[in-house]
Amino acid sequence: MYEASFSEMIRVILIVLLIYFGFKLIIRWFGPLLLKYFLRKVGKKFEQQFGGFDPSEAKKKEGEISIEKNPKKSRGGKKDVGEYIDYEEID
């Protein structure tokens, strides 16, 4: 079996701490850059999917106004829901 000497154990602990603090430092420096990159990429995808989605706007000339009205929904009259019964209190 292998026995870990004190110096080897200290060496492993120092390497782990160096990697941990190095990773934190790299994330602190390059994290905002990576975040900006991904947000820019997602923003471009969003613009491609939803930007200029309305084809009727492309046909209009500048300064032209158009009003579109929704058709009125016809109400289907009164429906017979049953007979009305008048209740009285009984003491």
- Condensed to tens digits (0 to 9), the pLDDT of residues 30-48 reads 999 999 999 999 999 988 8
Please indicate, yes or no, if residue 83 is contained in any of the structural domains: no
- Band (pLDDT 50/70/90 cuts) for residue 84 is confident
| pLDDT at residue 17, as a whole number | 97
What average pLDDT does this structure show over 54-77?
70
Domain range for 40 is: 6-51
| pLDDT at residue 80, as a whole number | 67
* Three-state SS annotation for the chain: CCCCCHHHHHHHHHHHHHHHHHHHHHHHHHHHHHHHHHHHHHHHHHHHHHCCCCHHHHHCCCCCCCCCCCCCCCCCCCCCCCCCCCCCCCC
Please indicate, yes or no, if residue 31 is contained in any of the structural domains: yes
The pTM for the full model equals: 0.40
Please indicate, yes or no, if residue 81 is contained in any of the structural domains: no
Number of structural domains found in the chain? 1
